[in-house]
Structure 1
Amino acid sequence: MELEIAIRERIQERYNILHELYDIWFTENPTYIAPKERFYQQDHIEKHRAITYLLDKGYIVATPVSNEPEQVAVCITVEGIDFFEQGRLEGKGNGWGIVIEQSNE
């Protein structure tokens, strides 16, 4: 049960990141500009791994900002949009509740 909860939390984390970038995509400026250290979340290993996963899958891209070496431009890709929309329509990444059954031993 603990592993299942961890998996669900990790999936939710990836959907949360995609959701934020998905919303930004449909604005006037579809790119999120952030300090590299804040985006890559080195101090928060779970978030860092989620970002690395999304980059490796090609669902998001991060490119250096010209003349701003400490900044990174991040946006969702068309594959990321398709994955996010399909997942949401299938009910994935919509948030979830944890029900833990306790036995009376």
Structure 2
Amino acid sequence: MNFKFKRENETLTIEVNLDPRTRLDKPRVRLGMPDIINIINDNFSFGDEEKLGECLSPKYGIDNVYHDRCHGSWTFKLLSTKKPVRKQISKPKPSPRTSKRKTVTKKSLK
């Protein structure tokens, strides 16, 4: 079994190749999503502020009995574990009140 990790931007791609089973005395190897996650956790070192996210390209699995299913690749999203910095938002200054109503003046009657 061979596997390669490829890291691009915020994604992690793992490519797994199994040797095909050509004789009955060779063991059958089947790998599914839980096995792939265990391979990643055991063999890939994440940064201090990263963790494995959801799988962007899920597959059923690979099996070395079928020659067309001996190769598989999975792409995972890498998530940041550091908390986002909250930006201080300044409140707008209140504007002076201006009345839009016209002022009525009373004229004295003579």
TM interval, shorter chain, is under 0.3
Give the structure-1-normalised TM-score.
0.25
- Structure showing greater Rg: 2
* Higher normalized strand content (fraction of residues): 2
* Higher normalized helix content (fraction of residues): 1
Give the structure-2-normalised TM-score.
0.24
